Amino acid sequence: MVRSYIPAEFIVEVDHEKCRRCKRCLLNCSFGALEFKDRVTPLHEQCVACHRCLTFCPEGAISVEANPLGFKYSHNWSPQLRKNIWKQAETGGVLLTGMGNELPYPIIWDCLVLDACQVTNPSIDPLREPMELKTFLGSKPDFLEFDTGADGTLRLKTKMPPQIAIETPIIFAPMSYGALSFNAHKAMAIAAAEFGTVLETGEGGLHRDLYPYKDHIIVQCASGRFGVHAEYLNAGVGVEIKIGQGAKPGIGGHLPGEKIGEEISKTRMIPRGTDALSPAPHHDIYSIEDLRQLIYAIKEAIDYKPVSVKIAAVHNVAAIASGIVRAGADILYLDGFRGGTGASPTIIRDHVGIPIELALAAVDDRLRQEGIRNQASIIAAGSIRSSADVAKAIALGADAVAIGTGALIAMGCRVCQKCYTGNCAWGIATQRPELTRRLDPEVAAQRLVNLLHAWSSELKEILGSLGVNAIESLRGSRERLRGIGLDALTLDIMGIKPAGR
């Protein structure tokens, strides 16, 4: 075998003074980066900085550092670009990666700041006064009609369209069983049920063991139609048609045959060992009219429960969103260009799509201008990293947000971006049984509940400082946002003022 020209990305240091040679690190390393030759010997090239070995080393004897190897400086030819070319020269292949866009595009969330009350309007202490985060996802009527009862009281006459009620405006983003382990899926289902939110299945179907969580699940129907049948469509509180995803807009998915073991095979309803290929488009959807056809085909099969349509944020997202809402979607799921993935060509992940902040503002504006904003709820996703991002997204017009990578990090993910290899040392993005059993669903669920609890408490603090007592009062309230360092056109698109105005 020809030796690779690509230098190691990380250097693993073992302190042999501290090391007791218990080999726990070898058992934990799922990437083959440690050997035992009289003592623990690193294979630096294999290390992905998943930190599993050093987290479980009882002596704290291991450290992982970025390889300090010097490259002749060039602002243009970064070491990463050089490494990519070496890899492609060696393999001839399309570069694959996991997680979300890693390039240093400006992060608009970090250029937005929230308002607070001072003197002229009182802030509210959420620890002592009720604070409402409950959110309803679904189409809202254009107007309300009331009857007057015999005793003179008003009663709502309008029949409300079905809604998905969640206790906090945060849901778990669609990540398929296949990309993720069963235990990871189960952890999210337990946490969603305990906290009162929902988990989206992703396009890999729903394992039978998770059907009891049906009140907290939105099932997905994507182009591959894996595991999709009438019973599955009715196994949740709604159905999502996946058109695109922020990490790979416009392209399909390939779950490699190695990941299709017995349980995945059962859930996706395809034979073991075959590639699960999701075509790039739904081949029954080539237009808004076709999308309407599938939305209503699904509504007919689920007794008109809410249907969501998920798209990646791309250039003409506002016009597309308008078409989707007019096609009958009850929920519009917008995924920005930083959204994560289990596997995507690196070039697509890093260079296609637009930021969620701009897409969200543009879509919310357009739907308001057309007078159809009430017809669908908006879920914003694509790298929601903290409760501040949640609050800012809601102020920009989102009804709720979805967290994918954030939820995985809560379960132990180190964002090493190797999901596509199926070797996840933390038992999250893998199907290898010796790895998946590392993730205890009950423990992981508790970590997820803790995260939801923490973010929800922070949201209440934010609402209190804004002097409002319900998340409804922040929704679409862009006056409570200001921009720092954003150019005039960007501020205009976002409909916000610069800080100081």
- Contact residues for another protein, defined by CB under 8 A: 87-88, 90-96, 221, 223-225, 228-231, 233, 254, 256-257, 265, 269-271, 273-275, 277, 279, 283-284, 293-294, 296-298, 300-302, 345, 420-421
Task: Name the amino acid, one letter, at 237.
Answer: V
User: Would you say 203 and 222 are in contact if contact means Cβ atoms under 8 Å apart?
Assistant: yes
d(CA 301, CA 144): 28
Least distance CB 224 / another protein (angstroms): 7
Q: Phi/psi zone of residue 383: left (φ > 0), alpha (ψ -120 to 50 degrees), beta?
A: left
Specify the residue, 222 or 471, whose C-beta has the smaller distance to another protein.
222
Give whole-number Cα distances, 486 to 22, 115, 309, 336, in Å: 54, 17, 31, 19
Task: Name the amino acid, one letter, at 468.
Answer: V
- Convert 198-227 to b/e letters by CB count within 10 Å (16 or more is b): bbbbbbbbbbeebeebeebbbbbbbbbbbb
d(CA 346, CA 34): 27
- Three-class SS of residue 164? strand
Specify the residue, 151 or 262, whose C-beta has the smaller distance to another protein.
262
Least distance CB 283 / another protein (angstroms): 5
d(CA 282, CA 242): 9
Least distance CB 180 / another protein (angstroms): 19
Specify the residue, 39 or 272, whose C-beta has the smaller distance to another protein.
272
d(CA 486, CA 275): 45
Least distance CB 48 / another protein (angstroms): 12
Specify the residue, 169 or 205, whose C-beta has the smaller distance to another protein.
205
Specify the residue, 343 or 367, whose C-beta has the smaller distance to another protein.
343
Specify the residue, 93 or 149, whose C-beta has the smaller distance to another protein.
93
Least distance CB 324 / another protein (angstroms): 18
Specify the residue, 228 or 313, whose C-beta has the smaller distance to another protein.
228
Specify the residue, 257 or 467, whose C-beta has the smaller distance to another protein.
257
Residue of 298, 268, 259 whose CA lies nearest to 429: 259
d(CA 484, CA 479): 14
Least distance CB 26 / another protein (angstroms): 22
Least distance CB 339 / another protein (angstroms): 20
Specify the residue, 196 or 261, whose C-beta has the smaller distance to another protein.
261
Specify the residue, 127 or 347, whose C-beta has the smaller distance to another protein.
347
Least distance CB 286 / another protein (angstroms): 10
d(CA 377, CA 331): 5
Least distance CB 278 / another protein (angstroms): 9
361, 363, 366, 370: CA torsion to nearest 10: -130
Least distance CB 279 / another protein (angstroms): 6
Specify the residue, 98 or 138, whose C-beta has the smaller distance to another protein.
98
Residue with tokens 């720092």: 484
Pairing mode, strands 331-335 and 344-345: unpaired
Residue of 498, 484, 487, 482 whose CA lies nearest to 114: 482
203 contacts: CB under 8 Å, gap ≥ 6? 174, 176, 220, 221, 222, 223, 224, 226, 242, 253, 278
Least distance CB 223 / another protein (angstroms): 8
The string of DSSP letters for 334-374 reads EE-TT---SSEEHHHHHHSS--HHHHHHHHHHHHHHTT-GG
Q: Three-class SS string for 24-72?
A: HHHHHCCCCCEEEECEEEECHHHCCCCCHHHHHCCCCCEEEEECCCCCC
Specify the residue, 241 or 462, whose C-beta has the smaller distance to another protein.
241
Q: Phi/psi zone of residue 293: left (φ > 0), alpha (ψ -120 to 50 degrees), beta?
A: alpha
Least distance CB 333 / another protein (angstroms): 20
Least distance CB 321 / another protein (angstroms): 24
Look at the alpha carbons of 413, 416, 420, 422 in this order and tell me if their dihedral is positive or negative.
negative
Backbone angles phi, psi at 318, to 5 degrees: -65, -45
Specify the residue, 178 or 406, whose C-beta has the smaller distance to another protein.
178
